[in-house]
């Protein structure tokens, strides 16, 4: 017979792992079965295959030994050989089916860890490169390429057999389909990385050119670069820059130094000004003293602290950190520590100058110039900002107002393609 006139690559139908990725934590990858929708997809694929064949064609199937690919093959054969609506020209006993372990999916390392860890690993894989990144206790796409190369050579040699079929159908997985094409057509690694995954039960057809003896690819493969160009052309506004990739390494858990950087980052200015306006605090203390003459003058604490700083400066020593308290009628206690209120609210030295270096007017001017007022500063001013307009404060974990509102909404459209790409290459996007 010689070379088959057509080679058809088919990705398996929808599996339980495609619908619920957490199933890989308790079910071995090779035992994951099809969903009810997956069985319907497989039977529809059999009807589609029947429409592509000639009545005199013969068939050889090569399938991955995983349960989802074997069930997909079974579903295809059920509808392909069915006698409804008309008798099939392809009796079941004339079709040869071979299980080929080299067509199995990329090994993802036995039972999968938690979803959080898999998400971290998938992001690391995207940053490192899908072809060369080796799954812990598993394979890289380059490893899968090596075994597909061996299968391609065996397949090519079998074309010389007299009884080889006129149509060869290969039922495998999404990544393995791309790796097969990469080997057959000598795709570069960069082009492989750019290829998007094929859909469940999608056919990739290779037809023999009788003149050249080579197989021409009938499909227009989808790529991420082409999708990005289409999206950019359809946008009225220029696209935003691609976000920076995450930095990895240095720890088996993928810690990249972000926590250390956060500890070293300068503290936000509107946290510092919570306790910096001494003039406002002294004014409040004076008001309290007038309302209750028997109460100890709270400003004495301030004078004591200033005296300690002056004495320490004369002997070239750091001033002691005092933690004096001003008690308000509602028993609210404001801790004063160092330059900026510090303590558990700060964790870092303030970038601002000390109160002794600034006049009261300069301090108030700096507070007014800030884009957002702290909750305490606004409370002292009757809930009004510098323009006398009342605002509702939205606080974060530190008690500071957010610098940018609706930031995620503003970025969502610009990152749509990146989000789709990440989803397509994740468990949720049915990588396997």
Question: Would the pLDDT of 148 be above 50?
Answer: yes
- 102 or 268, which is more confident: 102
The answer to which of 52-56, 58-62, 77-81, 338-342 has the lowest mean pLDDT is 338-342
Q: Rounded distance, CA 25 to CA 121, Å?
A: 15
- 183 or 261, which is more confident: 183
| Highest mean pLDDT (candidates 110-119, 354-363, 403-412) | 110-119
pLDDT at 65: 97
pLDDT at 331: 43
Question: Would the pLDDT of 132 be above 70?
Answer: yes
Q: What is the mean pLDDT of the chain?
A: 74
Q: Rounded distance, CA 295 to CA 288, Å?
A: 8
pLDDT (mean) for 403-418: 55
pLDDT at 53: 96
The answer to which of 60-74, 170-184, 315-329, 333-347 has the lowest mean pLDDT is 333-347
Long-range CB contacts (< 8 A, 24+ apart) of 258-263?
263/347, 263/348
pLDDT at 232: 85
What whole-number percentage of the chain has pLDDT above 70? 54
pLDDT at 386: 43
Question: Would the pLDDT of 211 be above 70?
Answer: yes
The torsion angles phi and psi of 333, rounded to 5 degrees, stand at -110, 125
Question: Would the pLDDT of 259 be above 80?
Answer: no
Domains and CATH numbers, the chain: 6-243+419-424 (3.40.50.1240), 271-369 (no CATH)
Question: Would the pLDDT of 100 be above 60?
Answer: yes
pLDDT classification of 153: cutoffs 50, 70, 90 = very high
pLDDT at 2: 79
**Nearest of 231, 266, 197 to residue 413 by alpha carbon:** 231
pLDDT classification of 86: cutoffs 50, 70, 90 = confident
Q: Rounded distance, CA 345 to CA 187, Å?
A: 56
**Nearest of 179, 187, 210 to residue 5 by alpha carbon:** 210
pLDDT (mean) for 299-317: 51
pLDDT (mean) for 194-221: 95
Residue pLDDT, tens place only, 340-380: 334 333 344 444 444 444 556 665 565 455 444 444 444 44
Question: Would the pLDDT of 193 be above 70?
Answer: yes
In a 3-state reduction of DSSP, which class is residue 134? coil
Question: Would the pLDDT of 116 be above 80?
Answer: yes
The answer to which of 75-79, 287-291, 367-371 has the lowest mean pLDDT is 367-371
pLDDT (mean) for 49-78: 97
pLDDT (mean) for 60-67: 98
pLDDT classification of 54: cutoffs 50, 70, 90 = very high
The answer to which of 163-177, 297-311, 344-358 has the lowest mean pLDDT is 344-358
**Cβ(192)–Cβ(131) below 8 Å:** yes
> Which residues are identified as catalytic?
12, 105
Radius of gyration of the chain (CA): 34
pLDDT at 278: 52
What are the counts of helices (DSSP H) followed by strands (DSSP E) for the chain? 16, 8
Question: Would the pLDDT of 327 be above 50?
Answer: no
Q: Rounded distance, CA 366 to CA 370, Å?
A: 7
pLDDT classification of 149: cutoffs 50, 70, 90 = very high
pLDDT at 118: 85
């Amino acid at each position: 017979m010689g070379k088959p006139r057509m080679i058809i690559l088919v990705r398996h139908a929808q599996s339980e792992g495609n619908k619920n990725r957490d199933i890989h934590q308790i079910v071995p990858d090779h035992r994951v079965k099809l969903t009810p929708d997956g069985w319907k997809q497989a039977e529809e694929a059999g009807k589609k295959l029947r429409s592509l064949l000639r009545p005199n064609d013969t068939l050889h199937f090569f399938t991955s030994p995983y349960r989802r690919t074997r069930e997909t093959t079974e579903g295809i054969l059920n509808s392909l050989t069915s006698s409804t609506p008309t008798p099939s020209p392809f009796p079941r006993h004339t079709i040869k089916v071979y299980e080929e372990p080299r067509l199995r999916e990329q090994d993802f390392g036995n039972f999968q860890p938690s979803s959080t860890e898999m998400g971290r690993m998938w992001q690391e894989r995207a940053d490192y490169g899908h072809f060369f990144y080796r799954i812990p206790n598993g394979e890289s796409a380059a490893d899968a390429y090596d075994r597909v190369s061996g299968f391609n050579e065996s397949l090519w040699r079998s074309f010389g057999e007299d009884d080889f079929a006129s149509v060869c159908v290969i039922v495998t997985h999404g990544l393995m389909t791309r790796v097969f094409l990469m080997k057959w057509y000598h795709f570069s690694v960069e082009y492989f990385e750019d290829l998007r995954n094929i859909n469940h039960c999608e056919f990739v057809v290779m037809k023999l050119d009788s003149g050249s003896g080579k197989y021409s690819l009938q499909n227009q493969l989808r790529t991420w670069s082409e999708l990005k160009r289409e999206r950019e052309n359809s946008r009225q506004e220029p696209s935003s820059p691609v976000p920076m990739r995450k930095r990895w390494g240095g720890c088996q858990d993928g810690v990249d130094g972000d926590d250390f950087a956060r500890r070293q980052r300068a503290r936000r200015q509107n946290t510092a000004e919570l306790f910096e306006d001494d003039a406002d605090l002294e004014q409040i203390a004076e008001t309290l003293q007038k309302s209750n003459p028997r109460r100890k003058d709270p400003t004495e604490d301030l004078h004591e602290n200033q005296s300690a700083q002056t004495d320490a400066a004369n002997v070239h020593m750091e001033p002691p950190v005092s933690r004096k308290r001003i008690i308000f009628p509602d028993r609210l206690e404001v801790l004063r520590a160092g330059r900026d209120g510090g303590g558990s609210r700060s964790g870092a030295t303030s970038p601002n100058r000390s109160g002794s270096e600034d006049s009261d007017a300069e301090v108030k001017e700096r507070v007014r110039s800030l884009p957002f007022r702290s909750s305490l500063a606004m409370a002292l001013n009757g809930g009004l900002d510098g323009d006398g307009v009342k605002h509702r404060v939205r606080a974060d974990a530190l008690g500071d107002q957010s610098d940018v509102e609706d930031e995620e909404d503003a970025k969502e459209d610009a990152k749509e393609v990146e989000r789709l790409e990440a989803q397509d290459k994740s468990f949720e996007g049915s990588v396997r």
